[in-house]
């Protein structure tokens, strides 16, 4: 059951039908803008203008852009993997891998810093191991690219996933330890793009 949020805190009354439609409308407009302009390129005011609602109305349903994005998947594991399966786009394996990277960046940008520290700095956390469902989606993208002759088969698809995973986690770790001071989306896209190009035929 979804609850109306005011300033990030849950209220006790479930959403009515009209409120649910409003939330879904804001969500749809916000996601369309995020896909078009990127996470940092989209402002809350942009979303409000596209959805034709006030800024106050936005904050009645979402704490920030990160919460709007995360609303697509209530759990980070299988739900995020399902989101990736439905939303990754691109005509080539390279484009699809980089689509994965962009959504993965947004997940981390939109996650509160204390939660990121818990996830990345405590290796005993369940979300930390390599059996992350999101990486299973990436594996299918890479395997399909190999089958189409777009990606080298000199490396196993699992090896390529592991290399990308190390790049992603390394950048995110540096971002967290540096106080989230640099543009994570741009850094991940730039670094992983250079790595992926070494696999592309």
Q: Would you state the pLDDT for residue 79?
A: 86
Q: Would you state the pLDDT for residue 76?
A: 62
Interval 16-41: pLDDT, tens = 888 889 999 999 999 999 989 888 88
End-to-end Cα distance, the chain: 47
* Per-residue confidence band for 4, with pLDDT thresholds at 50, 70 and 90: very low
Q: Would you state the pLDDT for residue 96?
A: 97
Rounded-to-integer distance, Cα 138 and Cα 84, Å: 9
> Rounded to whole angstroms, what are the CA distances from 186 to 55, 76, 123, 141, 191?
27, 22, 26, 22, 9
Q: Would you state the pLDDT for residue 119?
A: 75
Average pLDDT over the chain, rounded to an integer: 85
Q: Which residues pair with 6 in a beta bridge?
A: 9
Q: Would you state the pLDDT for residue 73?
A: 81
pLDDT over 80 (residue 159): yes
Q: Would you state the pLDDT for residue 128?
A: 47
Q: Which residues contact 194 (CB under 8 A, 6 or more apart)?
A: none
57 alpha carbon, distance to own chain's centre = 24
Rounded-to-integer distance, Cα 111 and Cα 109, Å: 6
pLDDT over 70 (residue 134): yes
């Amino acid at each position: 059951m979804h609850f109306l949020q005011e300033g990030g805190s849950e209220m006790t009354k479930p959403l009515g039908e009209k409120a649910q439609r409003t939330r879904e409308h804001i969500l749809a407009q916000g996601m369309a803008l995020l896909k078009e302009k990127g996470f940092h390129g989209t402002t809350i005011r942009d979303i409000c203008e596209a959805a034709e609602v006030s800024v106050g109305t936005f904050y009645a349903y979402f704490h920030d852009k990160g919460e709007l994005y995360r609303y697509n998947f209530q759990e980070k594991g299988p739900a995020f993997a399902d989101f990736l399966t439905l939303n990754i786009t691109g005509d080539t394996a390279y484009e699809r891998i980089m689509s994965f990277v962009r959504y993965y960046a947004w997940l981390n940008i939109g996650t509160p810093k204390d939660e990121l520290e818990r996830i990345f700095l405590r290796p005993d956390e369940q979300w930390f191991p390599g059996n992350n469902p999101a990486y299973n989606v990436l594996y299918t993208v890479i395997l399909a690219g190999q089958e189409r002759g777009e990606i080298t088969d000199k490396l196993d698809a699992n090896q390529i996933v592991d290399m990308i995973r190390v790049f992603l986690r390394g950048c995110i770790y540096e971002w967290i330890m540096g106080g989230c001071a640099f543009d994570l989306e741009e850094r991940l896209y730039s670094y992983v793009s250079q790595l992926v190009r070494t696999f592309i035929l």
